[in-house]
Amino acid sequence: MTSEADERGEPTGAPASVDVSAAARPPAFYRLENTVQPYDWGSTSAIQDLLGVEPDGRPAAELWMGAHPLAPSRVVPDGALRPGEGAPSGAGPGTLVDLVRTDPVRVLGQRVLDQYGPRLPFLLKVLAAERALSLQVHPRPHLARAGFNRENREGVARDSPLRSFHDDQHKPEMVVALTRFEGLSGFRRPRRILELLDGLDGGLVARMRAALEARPTEAGVREAFTLALHARSEPDLAADLARTVASVRARAERGPDDGGRGRSSRRADTTVLALAEQHPGDPGAVVSLMLNRVTLAPGESMFVPSGHVHAYLSGCAVEIMASSDNVLRAGLTRKLVDVDALLECATCTPGPAARPRVIDDGTGLTTYRPPVAEFALRAGRVAGDEAVPLPDAGPRVVLCLDGSVSLAGADHGASVRTVLARGESVFVPHATGAVAVRGEGRVVVAYVP
């Protein structure tokens, strides 16, 4: 039965109290406005294409989604959380750092808060490399804390180019390829390194060979690596490396001459030549012969533990890591190379490139679980009307890579949803609870396992 007041649109009491309650509830989803890092090795088209912006010839290397202090995502409460609702009044954008600090239990959940404090423990990126990144290592936890505190005591400014440790966190990381993705990660077996160095000209490679022949062990690998790092200060390095690169080029053009025994590697040789062209006079090109050469097809993944020497060479990938910007460079860069700090942090144990545990549950989304506690990924394609459940607790970041998908969950018994198009991302607080995705598109979900 409709009352006279109803017909005039006048309030009757009960609805007003419901509206106040709904308005007081925190948003279930927060739209993210993310920083693009214009590092010079970045692609001039890949991230621009993802975000739907016109390329302008400048590189876009990384898209950061998270709460790292150097470039925290800005958050805007989703303005269409409930049918008929607009954006909450007075809700201007802040950063994800601010959001976490305002209500860490609601945003992170008690478990994550107890383990990591009031901070988001992971950083999600899209990485687009047109040429090689630096040869680098990320410190393990105790070394990150020690290095950060030491540089603070020494008065090294946080933004100084002479600083090696920008925070006190370790930085294990994982990549999942979006295109063909090329990289180097971890040291080859000593005998294999010797096969690749065999027959090359130059004083540095001769000393590296001698170290490995004397000790074809982890100790020999470390000594050969150390020789290459310290060679940066030698006055005749450029001429010596030119001889080595010339002998690599001759071998690549000549082709295998080992009777089919597989001792040489065209891929390893072409990697040296490409790096020497990008970074002439840098011994990192020769160091690449010591490292495992990795090619990932779309959907394939690689885990890089703290301490592993690595470099990403080309391609586009989703990257997730512990929330840190600690990078100790070994070469292929014009930035600081802190040899002593790098050697303290580097692990020289030979072995294959590491891979995460991969779980395909038939939903279209694959779970990637590296052996660390800070992060994991769900990624893949959804199709049709069937809802695919996402991780149901803790802080989550969801990115749409193409198509259009909707996220739906329950908030105090009310249905809540948001829609993501290509390149759009949202933060989902712990308090939002269980969330499912449906639609037609590719998505990535970062979470704390």
Binding-site entries: 136, 138, 173, 310
Which residue is catalytic, options 119, 188, 222, 329?
Answer: 329
| Catalytic residue status for 329 | yes
Report the alpha-carbon distance of residue 249 to residue 255 in Å, rounded. 10
Single out the residue of 378, 433, 391, 386 nearest to residue 405, CA to CA.
386
Backbone φ and ψ for 13, nearest 5 degrees, come out as 110, -65
Number of alpha carbons in the 13 Å side-chain half-sphere of residue 167: 13
Report the alpha-carbon distance of residue 168 to residue 74 in Å, rounded. 23
Single out the residue of 116, 293, 101, 274 nearest to residue 187, CA to CA.
293
Answer for the pair 93, 417: CB distance below 8 angstroms, yes or no: no
Tell me the binding residues for Zn(2+): 136, 138, 173, 310
Report the alpha-carbon distance of residue 93 to residue 96 in Å, rounded. 9
Report the alpha-carbon distance of residue 67 to residue 94 in Å, rounded. 11
Answer for the pair 293, 274: CB distance below 8 angstroms, yes or no: no
Report the alpha-carbon distance of residue 369 to residue 377 in Å, rounded. 7
Active site residues: 329
